[in-house]
Structure 1
């Protein structure tokens, strides 16, 4: 079976979107399928380079659409993007003759994929990892329930109605679409997973431990992108208050993004620079060793529609590494964490609740030991990529049957 995947961007860009995409095609190839990838013009923007028309990465064939020049209007820019991507999908489909076109969010990928799929009579699967309208709210593009928000929401709903099958990242997204009138029979959750071999319990990275001055300290960590919704402002506030009781703790914030400068200024204003390490982004290969040197991983996401509906990937990595996880009780976290079993949940948007959660973990070694024991087993059994992605076979078969009928 040959699948033509339509992506916003891909490796070598390193983020959660590209890692999920890479593991999807990796597992599909392992099963004997033939995944081929097309990336939208946004790939060139994300990778900060012009790129090539075609390239091979780890044995996978990537068709690049190429960059486009922006228009004065964002709407015109998006139309130009979809026209360019649609043309590239048609070119690649004529060459590759795929059995399935699998478009991954956002809807800027889905619309041209759906049009070309109908022209060529190829089944189209649409996979939603987050609603684009909610991502726009977080990025400050528009506000919730504004005219543009509702237009984007209605277009997304339209695409879901006309796609042959719809994949969703988690159950909360499915529930939301059911409320919009999308049949539950055509929707299948395809949960996040991890490659167990990449995240096994290991020794701490000794070089980083010494370089960052973390030896002999209790380390609270965050590893990921510094998006506003991640709640790093809450984390820094809580950590500052926790220092009054626990002087031997350090806060390790690994990564970068839109909130980085704001967080650095907050750390400075709170006068806790000696207790906070922000090394920036590091090599993906060294991430397990960084997980290993932490005691608690914090995920203090704010409660917004995006975090209530979407499950993150990073807590799964931490749990696979046998780490203690403390996360806000937003909907996306509640799908992954059973409080007291494989992690601790605390009230979202509440620094005092996070202080209390940290204090409980730092003074309760028996609880921490129980969490460290339960988490790797649960992730291995429930959220390895081969298990979570196995549903694609049913999804593709149903799409092909619909096309034939």
Structure 2
């Protein structure tokens, strides 16, 4: 989980995503873009200043991560061999976290700990709290700047109270600024900031054929391509289509003089996509009938978390006054709901909060301490906004149970599962061109996945399982589509275990995803058994089923809501042998693949489309 002062999580960018259609611009396109770039100068400088305020090493790491993947790879190969902080940062930016950690461990103890402080800060920048804590232990107690290093290490571990205390007596301007920033992050994570708000339930909303809805999200397509943004776009697109159909029907009934129905808008967090490293984006983007609003301006972004939240509320309130939505629909995380609840209280608009994941559990799954302020504060704030919202939406039955267990009345918690968009509802894409590009032979069976390559996805287990299948003499190849922090390690493992039989192309263009799904014969979801994976259902297995592919998954509760024996199988998490056994059924039997694929596709098209989800949302909105 990123610090509260960073409004955009570290999510992978879209590579070659579909272009957006800008609106609200004037003049020739080059001049309009130059104007937008000029607008983004001060906000971008303020983002850089915020990273520098943490530490120049943190800023350097961000800059390295912003480089194109081939450049990062070359730097890691060249500079990564050199001892020191820069070499470790280059390795880490390329995803070689284990090698970077080893280099920093060696640096921390070299020359009597003279470089331990630098190693600790570099480990913080690479989100390796364990390495940072070990390095901090090597920093002499009287070393200059030790308090700042100790604060950064504690903050990375989520212990914000400890981090603030470490800088309590600091005198240097840099340390006082960091102290203020950390105190603000702690304040934003402290419940009780929301004022009392009366529920906005009223008479059923039947004046219009569809509600006018404003979605509040962290980030969006095309700059960020991930499950979060895919769900946002699927929901909003289906709602826009529904609104258009309803408006046409009313026009017909009223002789063409009726309203045009509801409208669907999506607003991203203040400063996005500048905060994600994308400059010159239009303030409005029209995509598939949905209007995306970016809360952008020429002023610097506030550095402190509490100040940025207040500015976000002001900007969103101004937008909502113009759009006059019937419903504010906020999506994880709690900061989006906080903004929605404040705006809703001001304008008298009901608020729906959609809990797409328990982000504190995601942070915990990466080694976070459940006793830390960051974990406890995020959980408490998530619970606070759930209780304050007029309705809560979750994406699985398991998540609904977890939300109700926090004290939210069951009748206010609704399940709207993940679904597939129209790219998968039509005819199944042709994967032959992709297979041809990869050199897949006709007799070979492709086992693969499409995912963000995080450690908890267990893709390394899939690599080992495919290697076992090849040892059994089966003609299988591995295909892993997507990028993420664990990709470099998975690539290295695949090169070792599957030389010449593994393809890991990284992120592919959004429009081409269906064809890559179609290139896979058997889809795998080898997630590890963690609180976050047990409760949260991913989208990609649904897309695989819609593509007519059987799905073999870890036997976790969330995945059992998607996969059944009719169209897939299960394996014990973290067990490559069990996964290989489950995959072998479909690898060796093409008829079983076809039957399972047909059954899974039929179920998804009947039960899991965004059009069906739009009907659920419409009924929910009418009841507010």
Normalised by the size of structure 1, how large is the TM-score? 0.90
Q: CA deviation at 1:380?
A: 1.0
Asked if the contact 1:4–1:101 (Cα under 8 Å) also holds between the matched residues in 2, the reply is: yes
| Paired position in structure 2 for 1:389 | 614
Q: Which runs of 5+ in 2 are unaligned?
A: 1-210, 244-261
Say yes or no: does 1:349 pair with 2:574: yes
| Paired position in structure 2 for 1:367 | 592
Q: CA deviation at 1:112?
A: 1.4
Q: Deviations over 1:209-267 (max 9, x none)?
A: 22211122111111121122211111112112221113421101111111111111112
Q: CA deviation at 1:198?
A: 3.0
Q: CA deviation at 1:144?
A: 3.1
**Cα distance between partner residues in 2 of 1:183 and 1:154:** 17
Q: CA deviation at 1:201?
A: 5.0
Asked if the contact 2:241–2:289 (Cα under 8 Å) also holds between the matched residues in 1, the reply is: no
| Paired position in structure 1 for 2:212 | 2
SS for the counterpart of 1:302 is coil
Residues 37/365 of structure 1: CA separation in 2 closer, same or farther (3 Å cut): closer
Which of 268, 286, 296 is matched with 1:39 structurally?
A: 268
| Paired position in structure 2 for 1:243 | 470
Between 57-66 and 239-248, report the one with greater CA deviation. Answer: 57-66
**Cα distance between partner residues in 2 of 1:210 and 1:316:** 25
Say yes or no: does 1:166 pair with 2:397: no
Which of 52, 63, 76 is matched with 2:293 structurally?
A: 63
Q: Which has the higher strand share?
A: 1
| Paired position in structure 2 for 1:233 | 460
Q: CA deviation at 1:47?
A: 6.1
**Cα distance between partner residues in 2 of 1:343 and 1:47:** 40
**Cα distance between partner residues in 2 of 1:92 and 1:301:** 40
| Paired position in structure 1 for 2:623 | 398
Number of positions where the alignment pairs a residue of Structure 1 with one of Structure 2: 391
**Cα distance between partner residues in 2 of 1:63 and 1:196:** 23
| Paired position in structure 1 for 2:221 | 11
**Cα distance between partner residues in 2 of 1:247 and 1:174:** 42
Q: Greater Rg, structure 1 or structure 2?
A: 2
Residues 14/276 of structure 1: CA separation in 2 closer, same or farther (3 Å cut): same
| Paired position in structure 2 for 1:122 | 349
Q: Deviations over 1:287-316 (max 9, x none)?
A: 222222221111101111111111111111
Normalised by the size of structure 2, how large is the TM-score? 0.60
Residues 59/375 of structure 1: CA separation in 2 closer, same or farther (3 Å cut): closer
SS for the counterpart of 1:258 is coil
Say yes or no: does 1:274 pair with 2:274: no
Q: Which runs of 5+ in 1 are unaligned?
A: 400-405
Tell me the C-alpha RMSD between the 2 structures: 2.1
**What pairs with 1:100-249 in structure 2 (closer than 5 Å)?**
100-139=327-366, 142-202=368-428, 204-216=430-442, 217-249=444-476
| Paired position in structure 1 for 2:185 | none
Which of 232, 237, 258 is matched with 2:485 structurally?
A: 258
Q: CA deviation at 1:123?
A: 0.8
Asked if the contact 1:223–1:254 (Cα under 8 Å) also holds between the matched residues in 2, the reply is: yes
Asked if the contact 1:200–1:288 (Cα under 8 Å) also holds between the matched residues in 2, the reply is: no
| Paired position in structure 2 for 1:49 | 279
Residues 344/145 of structure 1: CA separation in 2 closer, same or farther (3 Å cut): farther
